[in-house]
Amino acid sequence: MSRLVVSEFVTVDGVMEDPGGSEGFERGGWAFRFERGADGDKFKLDEVMGADAQLLGRKTYEGFAAAWPPVAMTRRASPRR
């Protein structure tokens, strides 16, 4: 059986809104005001690279697709394994 891993940007007090600041909220961009350090960066990279798939929300997908259109199109067109 496959396992599901949830990776979220959330503050200690439960804020999830606009972590990168691209949506124009008053307190947007909070997630990138602090450095994770080399260990934190490695943890996040390992987490993503160890996954067989990613399930993105609509807004996140649209942001990814705008940033990396060739990758988004390739992935969308790729057959399932």
Q: What is the DSSP letter of 80?
A: P
Give how far the C-alpha of residue 2 lies from the chain's centroid of Cα atoms, to the nearest Å: 20
Q: Which two tokens stand for residue 30?
A: 């909070």
Dist. CA 58–CA 65, nearest whole Å: 10
What's the predicted TM-score (pTM) here?
A: 0.56
Q: Which domain holds residue 4?
A: 1-50
pLDDT for residue 69 is more than 80: no
Same domain membership, residue 64 and residue 40: no
Same domain membership, residue 70 and residue 40: no
Same domain membership, residue 27 and residue 44: yes
Residues sharing a CB contact under 8 Å with residue 65, sequence separation 6 or more, in sequence order: 72
pLDDT digits (tens, 9 = 90+) for 2-35: 777 788 888 888 888 888 888 888 888 888 888 8
Same domain membership, residue 45 and residue 58: no
pLDDT at 38: 94
pLDDT at 37: 92
What's the total number of domains in the chain?
Answer: 2
